[in-house]
Every structure is written in structure tokens, then in C-alpha cells.
């Protein structure tokens, strides 16, 4: 397998997906949720002040503009502090960490948080992998989400991930009509039971927001969504696909990780989350 995904492009595509996802919402929704972002060199930092999960308070894309600079990290910490949030994260590829990283961690008071697996592949590897659409359980169908289905699609995404903050469905729904996004769903009859989207960043595309309602898991929905999104990435002229999911601890089984491995992805590296707290 030949992934050859440029590391800096993989990281930048991820944070651009998150930033574009939330900043595509209407101005009233952004104001109500406290959405804001900061651009520093190649990196982006994002916050949703009203989100109690703190999930979207993150910074990434480091390394595209040169070596990682401690001053850039300090600016992000200041941004988090000024936004009034209690916690924010840094997503940094391990190979980009400088030799004096321990001193930077101590100075900025960062802690080592949840670990993620960064995955990638070239388009042909994904297209030649197992056809998830063909293996979809009888009675289910997969396809592109239309604008009139945006609210249901967004509601299923937020429910499946456990985000209950009012307004987050509107955030998700806003990307359905965005030309940089390809939103897909799996239907059981006329009801959406699984979702997954694709963010296009030039030659690289990010698998984003894949989730299935608990009552419908184990029926092949996510494998089908991986296949259809890989085909969409090829149609958009992409060369690479990237994704991220939680790393497995001893005795754990992450179904999302194994679905992606079957879909042609390979692990690029395991990445810790570096957490800043107020």
C-alpha cells in the first residue's frame, strides 16, 4: 500500500474540516454558541464557548509553515483564556514535537490526554478495498443527503455523538449545502439511521462525523459510508484520504478503527491530545 499522505497536509485537512464545519453556521447560531477561531501561521484554533463537552475546543494544523513554535502554542493558550473556556486541546503529530517539548509542556501546563490514531491512504487503495455498499444489510440504502434532509441528518449526527447543546443540529445541517462537503446517510426505509461526511481540501479529503444510532449498529452502515465517500473523493479529484479515531487501549475494540482498516486505510501514527486547562 502506498499512502504517501504528506503529514502536514493530513493534519491541516483535519483542523480545517472542524473549523469549516462549525463556522459554516449562520451568524445568529455562531453568536448563540460562542463560535470563534484563530489563525496562526498554518495552524487553526477553534472554540465553541457554550459547548459543555469541550470537544470542539481544539487547535491543529501545526507544521505546514515550518517547525513547531512554542510562541504559536502560547498564543493559542491566550486565545483559549480570552474566550473564557475551561479547557482546550492541541492536536500535534508526534514527529513534529521539538526536542525540548517537555519544557514547553511544563511552561504551558499541558497534560497528556486521549490518544487518537491518524489514518490515511491513497484513493486507489480505498477504491480497491472491500465494497461496503455491497455488504450493506438488506433494507438499508446509502446516498447523498439533499438540502431538505439537512435538519434530520444533523439531528442524527448530534444524537449519535451525544451532543445535546441546542443549535448544534443547525451547525451540522449548514454543511449540507457547502460545496466543500459531501454529506451522506444510510436510510432504513425513510428514516436516517447513520451519517458520515467528506470534507474536500484540495487533493486531500477528510472522513468526518461518521456515526450510527445505537439501535442500528452492526448492519454495515459505516462500511457503506466509507465506500461511498471514497468514491466521492475520487470524483472530486482527491489523491488522498485521511481520518482519525480513538486509539485502542489493551482489551478495547474500536469498531470505527477496524472499519477503516478494512476500507483501505493504514495507521500513520498514534497521536496524544495535549490539553490546556484554565
DSSP state of 69: -
Residue 47 contacts residue 30 (beta carbons within 8 Å) = no
Confidence class for position 3, pLDDT limits 50, 70, 90: low
The confidence score (pLDDT) of residue 115 equals 96
Average pLDDT of the segment spanning 238-242: 98
The neighbouring-strand residues paired with 183 are: 197
Neighbouring residues of 77: CB distance < 8 A, sequence distance ≥ 6: 88, 108, 276
Positive or negative: CA dihedral 128, 132, 135, 139: negative
Confidence class for position 75, pLDDT limits 50, 70, 90: very high
The Cα–Cα gap between 262 and 265 comes to: 7
Over residues 4-43, the pLDDT tens digits come to: 789 999 999 999 999 999 999 999 999 999 999 999 988 9
What pTM did the predictor assign? 0.96
Q: Is the pLDDT of residue 213 over 70?
A: yes
The neighbouring-strand residues paired with 267 are: 119
Across all residues in the chain, what is the average pLDDT? Answer: 95
Q: How many CA atoms lie within 13 A of 26 on its CB side?
A: 6
Over residues 177-211, the pLDDT tens digits come to: 999 999 999 999 999 999 999 999 999 999 999 99
Cell numbers given for 63: 507544521
The Cα–Cα gap between 126 and 164 comes to: 33
Among 3-12, 117-126, 140-149, 195-204, the minimum mean pLDDT is found in 3-12
Distance of CA 39 to the CA centre of its chain: 18
Average pLDDT of the segment spanning 219-230: 98
The confidence score (pLDDT) of residue 2 equals 53
Residue 242 contacts residue 198 (beta carbons within 8 Å) = no
Amino acid at each position: 500500500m502506498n499512502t504517501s499522505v504528506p503529514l502536514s497536509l493530513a493534519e491541516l485537512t483535519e483542523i480545517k474540516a472542524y473549523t469549516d464545519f462549525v463556522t459554516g453556521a449562520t451568524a445568529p447560531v455562531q453568536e448563540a454558541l460562542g463560535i470563534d477561531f484563530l489563525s496562526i501561521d498554518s495552524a487553526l484554533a477553534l472554540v465553541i464557548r457554550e459547548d459543555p463537552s469541550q470537544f470542539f475546543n481544539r487547535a491543529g494544523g501545526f507544521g505546514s509553515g515550518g517547525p513547531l513554535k512554542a510562541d504559536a502554542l502560547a498564543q493559542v493558550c491566550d486565545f483559549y483564556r480570552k474566550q473564557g473556556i475551561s479547557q482546550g486541546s492541541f492536536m500535534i503529530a508526534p514527529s513534529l514535537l521539538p526536542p525540548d517539548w517537555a519544557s514547553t509542556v511544563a511552561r504551558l501546563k499541558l497534560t497528556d490526554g486521549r490518544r487518537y490514531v491518524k489514518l490515511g491512504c491513497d484513493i486507489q487503495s480505498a477504491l480497491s478495498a472491500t465494497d461496503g455498499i455491497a455488504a450493506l444489510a438488506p433494507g438499508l440504502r446509502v446516498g447523498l443527503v439533499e438540502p431538505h434532509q439537512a435538519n434530520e441528518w444533523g439531528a442524527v449526527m448530534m444524537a449519535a455523538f451525544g451532543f445535546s447543546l441546542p443549535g448544534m443540529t443547525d451547525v451540522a445541517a449548514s454543511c449540507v449545502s457547502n460545496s466543500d462537503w459531501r454529506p451522506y446517510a444510510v436510510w432504513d426505509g425513510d428514516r436516517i439511521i447513520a451519517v458520515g461526511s467528506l470534507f474536500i481540501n484540495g487533493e486531500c479529503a477528510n472522513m468526518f462525523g461518521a456515526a450510527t444510532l445505537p439501535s442500528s449498529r452492526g448492519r454495515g452502515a459505516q462500511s457503506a459510508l466509507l465506500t461511498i465517500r471514497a468514491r466521492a473523493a475520487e470524483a472530486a479529484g482527491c489523491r488522498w484520504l485521511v481520518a482519525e479515531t480513538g486509539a485502542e487501549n489493551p482489551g478495547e475494540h474500536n469498531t470505527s478503527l477496524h472499519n477503516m482498516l478494512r476500507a483501505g486505510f493504514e495507521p500513520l501514527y498514534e497521536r496524544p491530545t495535549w490539553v490546556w486547562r484554565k
